């Protein structure tokens, strides 16, 4: 038979154990007012014996403040967002803030519910990767009500708030140029839904590089769809079975990279095409060949966003900042396969 769980000790319990009033215990716990050395020792001994911990949330509510911030991302399990989230958490904890986080699943209705929930729980500010079709009027109303916000990974048109982004367009152009420099003219691009800001920016960068190289765009080589869609394999099949198939593949995010690499392992073609992905991902460097990527810096993105938000929460009213972080190409072998070749 399990023992009943012991209730957490209260200030009244500490007061009874140390033979003083709850008000005196409060003075010791909060470090305000005079308490004799003898009484201080008695109260501290009782606190240690009972395992008392101050209810920080209740204290903050009494003071009219809550030392929490909220983080709303597309998917906290995504490798990119998990690194970003950890960086935000590190900054928050260093300044004695607790982080609340949740996934919007790219659903604006769900995102709104999360934001409202965090706000109703007294979050001092929010870092948001806005879901597609997010209601800007709703966000503007939250800002007007005094909620500080920083947008990360994606902006919200018409909203004046700090924003931290990666150079998606420039990074995709650099990746495409890398493949072109190795002789490729038939380069397939697989990106997320066209409604997603980062996906459209990366597609634009891919097209910029083709135009600069004098290569005609072929829309049959472009797939814009969530990589978890049921029709993913069929979409890849359609591209790979063209009469003039691609000799190189550009995956527009880390999830597409994983889906495409699994497809290529199971279905070919042989020899494999050159491969380059936007976003680094776990084990990309241990595959043979290693996967060439355009790497973002989600840790820097999260750190900057958190620092900006906490400055706003502290009353910083300087003009809004729009920070764009550079990407970098990491060549590991898969993107350096020369073309063209004939696939079987």
Residues 302-337: pLDDT tens digits? 999 999 999 999 899 899 999 999 999 999 999 999
Contact (CB, 8 A) for 201 and 263: no
Q: Is residue 4 part of a domain?
A: no
Residue 190 and residue 153 in one domain: no
Do residue 46 and residue 75 come from a single domain? no
| pLDDT at residue number 303 | 98
Report the C-alpha gap between 167 and 172 in whole angstroms.
9
What local confidence, expressed as pLDDT, does residue 58 receive?
A: 52
Give the pLDDT score at 125: 93
Alpha-carbon gap, residue 72 to 75, rounded angstroms: 9
Distance CA 185, CA 16 (A): 81
- pLDDT band at 189, cuts 50/70/90? very high
Identity of the highest mean pLDDT range in 47-51, 219-223, 259-263: 219-223
| pLDDT at residue 97 in the model | 92
Check whether residue 15 and residue 74 sit in a common domain.
Answer: no
pLDDT greater than 60 at residue 343: no
Q: What is the pLDDT of residues 136-150, one digit of tens each?
A: 999 998 888 888 999
Full-model pTM? 0.79
CA 20, chain centre distance (Å): 49
Cis peptide before 340 (omega within 30 of 0): yes
Q: Do 83 and 46 share a structural domain?
A: no
| Pick from 65-74, 207-216, 315-324: least confident | 65-74
Between 57-66, 110-119, 158-167, 269-278, the lowest mean confidence (pLDDT) is in 57-66
Average of pLDDT values for 94-102?
A: 92
Residues 208, 290, single domain; the answer is yes
Tell me, yes or no, whether 269 and 302 share the same domain: no
Residue 103, domain extent: 66-166+298-325
On whether both 278 and 189 belong to a single domain, the answer is yes
User: In this structure, are residues 125 and 148 in contact, taking their beta carbons and an 8 Å threshold?
Assistant: yes
- Residues 293 and 172 grouped into a single domain: yes
At residue 49 the predicted structure's pLDDT band, cuts being 50, 70 and 90, is: confident
pLDDT at res. 344: 33
Rounded Cα gap, residues 228 and 250, in angstroms: 17
Range name among 109-118, 214-223, 228-237, 239-248 with the lowest pLDDT average: 228-237
Position 4 scores a pLDDT of 45
Claim to verify: residue 251 and residue 110 sit in the same structural domain: no
> In angstroms, rounded to a whole number, what is the distance separating the alpha carbons of residues 316 and 308?
9
Domain tally, the chain: 3
Query: How many angstroms separate the Cα of 338 from the Cα of each of 77, 173, 220?
Result: 35, 18, 22
The CATH number of the domain holding residue 42 is: 1.10.260.40
Do 278 and 193 reside in the same domain of the chain?
A: yes
Note whether residue 206 is domain-resident: yes
Q: Quick check: is 341 in a domain?
A: no
Contact of 203 with 189, CB cutoff 8 Å: yes
- The CATH number for 232's domain is 3.40.50.2300
Q: What is the token pair recorded at 264?
A: 């290529």
> Which range, 223-237, 270-284, 292-306, is most confident?
292-306
246 is a domain residue: yes
146 falls within a domain: yes
CB atoms within 10 A of CB 73: 27
289 in the same domain as 308:
no
| Ramachandran class of 105: left when φ > 0, alpha when ψ lies in -120 to 50, beta otherwise | left
Q: Is residue 3 part of a domain?
A: no
Residue 176 lies in a domain: yes
pLDDT at 267 over 70: yes
Tally the C-alpha atoms within 13 A of residue 53's C-alpha that lie toward its C-beta. Answer: 5
Q: Tell me: pLDDT of 284 over 60.
A: yes
- 59 domain-assigned: no
Query: Is the domain of 312 the same as that of 216?
Result: no
The arithmetic mean of pLDDT across residues 246-257, rounded, is 96
Instruction: Supply the mean pLDDT for the chain.
Output: 88
Q: CB–CB of 268/206 below 8 Å?
A: no
| Ranges of H-type helices in the chain | 11-18, 22-30, 37-50, 56-63, 79-94, 108-120, 136-144, 168-180, 197-212, 232-240, 254-267, 298-313
For 13-31, what is the mean pLDDT?
Answer: 84
Comparing CA positions, the residue from 166, 128, 112, 107 lying closest to residue 324 is 166
Find out whether 285 and 332 touch, Cβ atoms under 8 Å.
yes
């Amino acid at each position: 038979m399990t023992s009943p769980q012991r209730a957490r000790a209260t200030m009244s319990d500490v007061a009874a154990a140390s033979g003083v009033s709850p008000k005196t215990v409060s003075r010791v716990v909060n470090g305000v007012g005079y308490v004799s050395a003898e009484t201080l020792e008695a109260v501290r001994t009782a606190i240690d014996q009972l395992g008392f911990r101050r209810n920080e949330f209740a204290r903050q509510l009494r003071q009219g403040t809550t030392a929490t911030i909220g983080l709303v991302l597309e998917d906290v399990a995504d490798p990119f967002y998990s690194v970003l989230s950890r960086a935000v958490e590190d900054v928050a904890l260093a300044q004695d803030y607790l982080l609340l986080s949740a996934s919007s699943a790219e659903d604006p209705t769900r995102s709104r519910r999360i934001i409202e929930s965090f706000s109703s729980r007294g979050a001092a500010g929010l870092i948001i990767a806005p879901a597609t079709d997010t209601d800007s009027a709703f966000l503007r109303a939250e800002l007007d009500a005094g909620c500080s916000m920083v947008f990360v990974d994606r902006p919200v048109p018409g909203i004046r708030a700090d924003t931290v982004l990666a150079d998606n367009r420039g990074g995709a152009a650099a990746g495409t140029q890398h493949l072109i420099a190795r002789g490729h003219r038939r380069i397939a691009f697989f990106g997320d839904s066209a409604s997603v800001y980062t996906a459209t920016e990366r597609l634009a960068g891919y097209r910029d590089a083709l135009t600069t190289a004098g290569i005609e765009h072929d829309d049959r080589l472009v797939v814009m769809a969530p990589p978890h869609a049921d029709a993913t394999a069929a979409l890849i099949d359609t591209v790979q079975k063209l009469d003039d198939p691609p000799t190189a593949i550009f995956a527009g995010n880390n999830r597409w990279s994983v889906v495409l690499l699994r497809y290529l392992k199971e279905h070919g073609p042989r020899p494999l095409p050159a491969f380059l992905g936007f976003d680094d991902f776990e084990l990309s460097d241990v595959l043979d060949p290693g996967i060439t990527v355009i790497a973002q810096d989600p840790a820097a993105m999260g750190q900057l966003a958190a620092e900006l938000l906490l400055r706003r929460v502290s009353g910083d009213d300087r003009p809004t900042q729009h920070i764009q972080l550079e990407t970098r190409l990491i060549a590991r072998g898969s993107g350096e396969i020369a073309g063209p070749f004939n696939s079987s």
